Amino acid sequence: MRKFEEIPGFPDYMINMDGLVLLKQDYEEGNFNFLKAYKCNVTQKLKVTLKKEKEGKKIKSTAYLHTLVGRTFLPIFNPKGKKVWHINRDIYDNSVENLKWVPLKGKQEFNYAPEKYVKNNRLYIPIPKLPFLSINSKGDVLSFKSGNPKPIKQRLNGKISFFDTEDYEGKRHTVYPHVIIRELFGKKKPEKEAPSV
């Protein structure tokens, strides 16, 4: 079993690097009776209910598992204005390797492209390193950053199409669709439109 640490702000609880939570007393006695996690009705992310002492009383508090793992194993100087993000987009994978702190601009949510999306009879699949973008075998790209699919305008450098985008961490990326197509679809060049008859 992976390493356990005390949860910051919840001294009666321990959490491990995979997001398993138990009482500190149970941990010290070798009883691995993990707290039951449940899905949040709104986000579907996993939560647990913990008790915390406040003014001499035990108060119930709910917390997301991924946030608890982040606070415990991914120390950050000031978490204000930041949130813990699932790198591989699997909200049930709360292992420390799948989590990182990202800046939160206002109340922005981190939207992702669906695993499969069909538009105009063309299948779009997510671009792995930029999971809010989806591409089809022709080289058309949709952005799901705002939640709704929006086409990305591409520029030409000679005969090569490209576009610039910014990820959720504010890093700029130049994307060449023909390279992504080769990686995802195994094709050398984007498909050409069939001539209309």
Q: Range with the lowest mean pLDDT among 88-92, 110-114, 117-121, 150-154? A: 110-114
With 0.85 as the threshold, say if the pTM is over it: no
Tell me which of 169 and 181 has the higher pLDDT. 181
Q: Residue 124: what are its φ and ψ, rounded to 5°?
A: -110, 135
pLDDT value of residue 107 = 43
Q: How confident is the model at residue 106 (pLDDT cuts 50, 70, 90)?
A: very low
Q: Range with the lowest mean pLDDT among 15-24, 37-46, 67-76, 175-184? A: 37-46
pLDDT value of residue 169 = 61
Q: Which of 48, 44, 124, 30 is nearest to 86 (CA)?
A: 44
Tell me which of 41 and 71 has the higher pLDDT. 71
DSSP string, the chain: ---EEEETTEEEEEEETT--EEEHHHHHHT---PPPPEE-TTT--EEEEEEEEETTEEEEEEEEHHHHHHHHHS--S--TTEEEEETTS-TT---GGGEEEEE--TT-------SSEEETTEEEEEETTEEEEEE-TTS-EEE-TTSS-EEPP-EEETTEEEEEEE-TTS-EEEE-HHHHHHHHH--SSPPPPPPP-
All domains of the chain, ordered by start, with CATH? 4-103 (3.90.75.20), 117-185 (no CATH)
Q: Range with the lowest mean pLDDT among 128-132, 137-141, 150-154? A: 128-132
Ranges 20-24, 116-120, 129-133, 144-148, most confident: 20-24
Q: Range with the lowest mean pLDDT among 56-60, 69-73, 95-99, 108-112? A: 108-112
Q: How confident is the model at residue 115 (pLDDT cuts 50, 70, 90)?
A: confident
Tell me which of 21 and 103 has the higher pLDDT. 21
